[in-house]
Amino acid sequence: MISDRLKLLGLIDLLAVCAYGLLLPILPLFLIDQFYDSNIFNIALAYTFYLISMAGFSWIFRIFIEHGLSIVRIKLGLIASTLILAVMPILYMYAKTMTDIYLIQIFIGMAFGIMKIAWHKLTHEKLTDTVSLEAFSHTRNLFTTFGLGIAAVLGGFIAYQYSYRPLLCLVFSFAFTSFASSLIYIFTSEKKHKATKRPSH
């Protein structure tokens, strides 16, 4: 049986991934339409920056949490990464050149890199004997794939019907819900921690 806290972690991940899944399939068209200095090569370069940033920061964060105050750093990592993901759609709206887009892509890569490690650590911590890692990751993959599929169709429809700005607002709302869920996750854990400590005093 999957616990409520594990479901909440799953929701945080699903919302964050689906938020960007709304935009990702049509991101090249968004860049071509909105930025005068965009071309095929620098759109691919933006994608490259995102991947390098994600790989680099996930590696750095993995080393960072191996030292002291591990659980605090993991929780802070989750909050910081979801906060960055929530802010980025707003920056997309106000970006003027492809250089701004490169920076945004680096920040998004950083957020996903940190979130990947923090989320995995927290998930492994919450997994019990009744739920295996393999079963949980298969379930997560299934939900994420369906979520991304639906998000791609929805994102394309909104951009086609109403333009990019409402789409970016929707991306923001999904990402912000993910951030709010991660705050709920952290604060409820503190409450429970206090509640378990109180009787011993």
Distance CA 96, CA 194 (A): 48
Using rule CB under 8 A, residue 161 touches other proteins: yes
Find the binder of other proteins among 37, 59, 69, 99 (CB under 8 A): 59
Distance CA 78, CA 122 (A): 9
Using rule CB under 8 A, residue 186 touches other proteins: no
**For residues 164-185, b (16+ Cβ closer than 10 Å) or e, as one string?**
beebbebbbebbbbbbebbeeb
Q: Residue 71 or residue 149: which is nearer to other proteins going by CB? A: 149
* Residue 94, burial from CB neighbour count under 10 angstroms (0-12, 13-18, 19+): exposed
Find the binder of other proteins among 71, 72, 142, 184 (CB under 8 A): 142
Residues 12-41 that bind other proteins (CB under 8 A): 25-29, 32, 39-41
Using rule CB under 8 A, residue 149 touches other proteins: yes
What would the two tokens of residue 57 be? Answer: 């920061």
> By the criterion CB under 8 A, which residues form the site for other proteins?
25-29, 32, 39-52, 54-55, 58-59, 62, 133-134, 137-138, 141-142, 145-146, 148-150, 152-157, 159-161
